[in-house]
A and B are shown apart, each in its own frame.
Chain A
Amino acid sequence: MIDAGRFRNRFPEIHAARRWRALAAAAAALTLMPIAGVLHAQENHDLASLSVDDLMNVEVTSVSRKAQKLSDTPAAVFVITQDDIRRSGATSIPEVLRIVPGLEVARLTGNAWAVSARGSNGQYANKLLVMIDGRSLYTPLFGGVFWDVQDTLLEDIDRIEVIRGPGGTLWGANAVNGIINIITKHAIETQGTLVTAGGGAAEGPLGAARFGGSLGNNRYYRAYAKSFGRPDSSSGSLPTHDALSMDQAGFRADWTSRGGDTFTAQGDRYRGAAGGTGATVDPANPFDSHVSLTRLSGQNLQFRWQSVQSSRSDTSLQAYVDDTSRSDSNMVITRRTVDVDFDQHLKLGSRNDAVWGLGYRRSNDNAVGAGFTLIRGSNISGIATAFVQDEIAVVQRLRLTLGTKIQFDSVSHLQLQPTLRLLFKLSPRQTMWAAATSAVRTPAETELYGRINVGAFPDGAGGTALVVVHGNPTLKPERVEAYEVGYRWQLSANTGFDATAFHNRIRDITGAAPQAPSIDSSGQLIFPINVENFLDNSAYGAEFLLTNAVTPNWNIALGYSFLQSVTFDDDGLRSTVVTEPKNQLQLRSNMQLSQQFALNAAAFYAGRIGDDVPAYVRLDAQLSWHPAKQWDFSITVQNLLHARHEEFARTAGGITIPRTVNGKITWRF
C-alpha cells in the first residue's frame, strides 16, 4: 500500500496534559494506522447504500487525506508507527527505536542493548523510563531496562511514543532523559489469524501466531504465541556466549459496556535463556569467568477501566501485577511488582484542561547470589505518588501547562517533579514551544544496599584480592533541571520540519568512589568502592527531523542530533567517560516500487564514542513483496556495508555486531 501520509503525519495530536494511558482508547482517532495488506476502496455508491450497522464493519485505510495538523504537544515527541516497525525489518524492540532522531541506541551483544536519550547511555541506562501500555519496564534493582525480555508480537504494536526530555510530572521517577511508551493495538484491530515465520544468518529463528476473535456486543480478544532466537554472534573460533532464546505467549481483551465504559485486560508470559558472562565474582572461584546461561521468565497481568462521567470529566483506573525472574549460575533475582493508578481528566471553566492522579506501586524482590548480597531491612518497597497538571488556554494561540508530581518513598522521602510548558501557535503551520522541567531518578537497590564483588586479582602473596562495590543507603536521588525549546513547521502538505534544543543539568549523580584497600575480619584483602552522589552532568544539544514525501510512492526522512555532555566531580574534575556519540545522522527512505514491491532503507551514522568506539555507518535495507492480500514476504539485511562493527564500549567482551540477513513470511487469514 502506498501511504504518503506516514511521514507527514509524524506528530499526531497528543495532548501532553493527559497521560498516554488515558489516550489509549482514543488512539486510533489520533493516528489511523494503515494496516499491512490493505484492500481497494469500494465504489462510492456502495458506501452510500450501506446501513449504519453495515458501515460499522467497513475498514478504512487511508490517512492521506486526514488533516495534516501539527502536534499541539509542548514536548519533543516522536511516534513510531506500525508501518515504521514493519518497514524497519527489526526483530526486537530496541532495534526499532533506532529510527528516533536524538535517541542513542547501541547493540552490545546478541541479547543486550544500550538505549538512552540525551546522554548517560549504558547497558543499564538508568535515566530513561520505558513502558508497555502504561506498565513500567524499568527495574529498580539495577536501574534500567533488561531489553532481552521486553518483547511482544511486533505486528500487534500500534505505535511507540518516544518523548525526549524529562516527563516526571506525569510519569514519575526515572523519566529523567526521556520516556518510551509502547502501545499495543486494540483487540478489534487484530481480528483474524496471523502466522509468521522467519530466520536467516545471525538472526532468528522466529515463529509466531496470533488469533483474534469477537464475542459479540463490542467484546474483542486476541491471543498470541511467539518463539524467537538469535545465535551467538561469534567471530572466528572464540565463542561469544550472547545467544538468546525466548518463548512468549499472551492475550488482550477489550470491551465496551452499554454505558460507554471501556475495559481492557491483557497479560503475557515468557520463558527463555540468554547467554552471557556473569557480572559478579564468586569469592570461592574468583578467576572463573563463569560463562553462564541466564534463565529468564516472567508474567504480567493488567486491567484498565476508562469511563466518561460527563462532558467535563473522564477517569481511568489501571492495575497490574508483574513478575520477573532472572537466574544464572551465580545469582537469582526475582521480583513482583503490584501497581495501581487512578487519574481523572477535568475541564474547569472554559480555559482549563486539568488532569490529576494517584498511584501506588509495591515491589517485593529477592536477589541472592555468590558475590552478591543486598543488605537491607526489608525486601518490600513502596512508592506513593500524586500528580496534578493544568493546561490553560491563556489566549487562543498560547497555552500554558503547569503541574507537579509529588512522590513519596522511604528512601528518597518527598520529591517534587514540577513542569512548566508553553505552546505558541505562530500560524496554522508553525508551532513553537518551550519547557522548564525537573525530574528525579531514585537510587537503584544495588546502589543503596548492594555488596557486589565485581572483580578479583592475585594479591601477590598467594591469595586473592577482591574489588567490592559497597552500596550506600544514604544516597540522594539524582535530579535533572531541563530547559527545552522546540519549533515545528509544516512547510507544505509533503514536507515537515521539527527542531528541538535543550540544556540539561543533572545533579547528585551517583558514581563509584574507590577507597583505600582494607583487610576484612576473615583476612581477605578488599579494594572497596563506595557509591556516592558526587557527580554533576551538564549537557546541551539539538535534534532535527525533516520529512518529505518526494512522490506519493517515496518518502524520505532526514534526522540529525547533536549532544555535548560533560560530567564533573565535586572537585571540578572532568570525567573522561563518554557514553554516547556527539553527532548522529540518519537518512531513511521508503519506496513503493510497484503495487507488490517495496524497498525500504535506512542509513545511520554514529560518531565515535570517546576513544572507545570508532564512528560507524550502518546501512539496513528491506525488500518486501506483497503478492496477495494474505501474504507478505520480506528480506532484511542489517549492516549491509560491513561484515562486523562495534556500537558500544568494549566492556561487552569485544563482541562486534555482525551483518544479519533475515527472511520473513507473513500469512494473514
Chain B
Amino acid sequence: MSGRRSRQRFRFWLFLVLIAGHYGQRLEAQAAADEYQVKAAFILNFARFVEWPDDALPASSPMMIAIVGDDPLVPAMESVLRGKVANGHLIQVHHRLWNDDLTPYRIIFISTSEEAHLPQVLGKLAQQSVLTVSDIERFSLRGGVIELVMVGNRVRFDINREPAATARLRISSRLFNVARAIHEKAASR
C-alpha cells in the first residue's frame, strides 16, 4: 500500500476513534426477560386498562384468562399472571384448546400455534365480550383486538378499535397512547 493509502487509513481510524469517543455514552443497562413472561405482563396491564361491561364481568367476580394453544408457553405466562388482581378481579389462568368452550373467559390469548384455527376461534368469540390478544402476525388486522408485535427484541402492540367496540370493551387512552399502531375499521385515513 502506498503512503497515500496509509494516510487514508489513518484518517479512517481517527474517524473510528471519534465515533467511539464522541458518542460513547454509557447506556442504561436494560433488563432482559423471557418473551412470554413479558407478554404476560403486558396482558396483565391490558386487564387493568380495559373495562368490560358489568354483565360480562360483574364486580368481584374473577377475571378468567385463557391461553389457547401451545403448551410450552403456558407455565411462563401463568407464573406472571396467577394470583394477580386487576381492578378488583382476581385473575385465573387456564390452558384451553381452540375447540374448547371459551365462553367464561374475558381475555383470551391465542398462541401462534393456532393460526390455522384463527377464523374459527374469532368466529366463536364474535358475540362475546372478550379481549383477544395474540402475537400471530397481522392479528389486529384479522379480527383480533390487540396484537403483540416484536420490534427488535422489545414487545409492542397494535390495537384495532373495531373488534374492541364489537366486544363492548372500553380501552383506556393510556394504552392508545403507547400503542405502536391503532387500526380503525374504515379504510380512509
Contacts and interface: CB of A to CB of B under 8 A. Distances in A.
Nearest to B179: A260
A53 B154 CA distance: 12
A327 to B, nearest CB: 15
28 contacts: A38-B32, A39-B29, A42-B31, A51-B45, A55-B41, A56-B156, A57-B30, A58-B30, A58-B154, A59-B30, A60-B34, A61-B33, A65-B73, A67-B73, A69-B113, A188-B152, A193-B20, A207-B16, A208-B16, A209-B16, A225-B15, A227-B9, A245-B5, A247-B8, A260-B182, A310-B183, A311-B141, A311-B142
Contacts of A310: 141, 183-187, 189
Contact of B12 (A40, A55, A227): A227
Interface in A176-204: 185-186, 188-189, 191-193, 195
Contacts of B19: 209, 211, 223, 225
A308 B34 contact: no
Interface string A37-72: 011111010111011110111111111011101000
A295 to B, nearest CB: 10
Interface of A: 13, 26, 28-30, 32-33, 35, 38-42, 44, 46-48, 50-53, 55-63, 65-67, 69, 185-186, 188-189, 191-193, 195, 207-209, 211, 213, 218, 223, 225, 227, 245, 247, 249, 256, 259-260, 271, 273, 308-314, 350, 396, 425, 428, 493, 629, 669
B42 interface: yes
Contacts of A396: 116
Contacts of A186: 151-152
Contacts of B36: 65-66
Given A48-B44, A56-B155, A309-B189, A32 B35 contact: yes
Interface in B6-53: 8-9, 12-13, 15-16, 19-20, 23-24, 26-27, 29-38, 40-42, 44-45, 49
B12 A247 contact: yes
Given A38-B32, A311-B141, A195 B20 contact: yes
A67 B70 contact: yes
Contacts of A273: 5
Contacts of A195: 20
A313 B156 CA distance: 21
B116 A65 contact: no
B149 interface: yes
A312 B155 CA distance: 24
Contact of A55 (B24, B45, B113, B160): B45
10 A-B pairs closest in CB distance? A260-B181, A189-B152, A310-B187, A28-B150, A67-B113, A60-B35, A188-B152, A39-B32, A47-B41, A311-B141
Interface stretch (B54-62, B76-84, B101-109, B125-133): B76-84
Contact of A26 (B1, B84, B149): B149
Q: Which of B38, B72, B135 has the most CB of A within 10 A?
A: B38
A61 B156 CA distance: 15
Given A186-B151, A310-B187, A63 B41 contact: no
B187 A313 contact: yes
B85 to A, nearest CB: 10
Contacts of A55: 38, 41-42, 45, 155
A358 B77 CA distance: 44
A629 to B, nearest CB: 8
B98 to A, nearest CB: 11
Contact of B38 (A29, A30, A58, A66): A58
A30 B149 CA distance: 9
A313 B186 CA distance: 11
B44 to A, nearest CB: 6
A37 to B, nearest CB: 10
Nearest to B27: A192
Given A57-B154, A191-B27, A227-B9, A65 B35 contact: yes
Nearest to A393: B119
A95 B83 CA distance: 51
A384 B176 CA distance: 41
Given A209-B19, A225-B19, A308-B181, A41 B34 contact: yes
A372 B20 CA distance: 45
Given A193-B20, A211-B19, A669-B27, 9 more contacts: A32-B153, A40-B32, A56-B155, A57-B154, A59-B31, A69-B113, A260-B158, A308-B181, A311-B142
A66 B152 contact: no
B35 A62 contact: yes
B64 interface: no
A343 B189 CA distance: 18
Contact of B150 (A29, A67, A193): A29
A67 B70 CA distance: 6
Nearest to B75: A65
B35 A48 contact: no
A260 B153 contact: no
B165 interface: no
Contact of B20 (A32, A41, A185, A209): A209
Nearest to A213: B23
A208 B81 CA distance: 43
B105 to A, nearest CB: 20
Nearest to B42: A55
A402 B187 CA distance: 26
Contacts of A32: 35, 150, 153
Q: Which of A33, A61, A207, A208 has the most CB of B within 10 A?
A: A61
Contact of B152 (A185, A208, A247): A185
Nearest to B141: A311
B112 interface: yes
Nearest to A261: B181
Given A207-B16, A313-B187, A396-B116, A59 B42 contact: no
A65 B112 contact: no
Nearest to B69: A67
Contacts of A209: 16, 19-20
Contacts of B153: 28, 32-33, 35, 59-61, 189
Contacts of B31: 39, 42, 46, 57-59
Contact of A30 (B32, B44, B72, B137): B137
Contacts of B8: 247, 271
A48 B84 contact: yes
A420 B154 CA distance: 37
Nearest to A210: B19
A51 B36 CA distance: 16
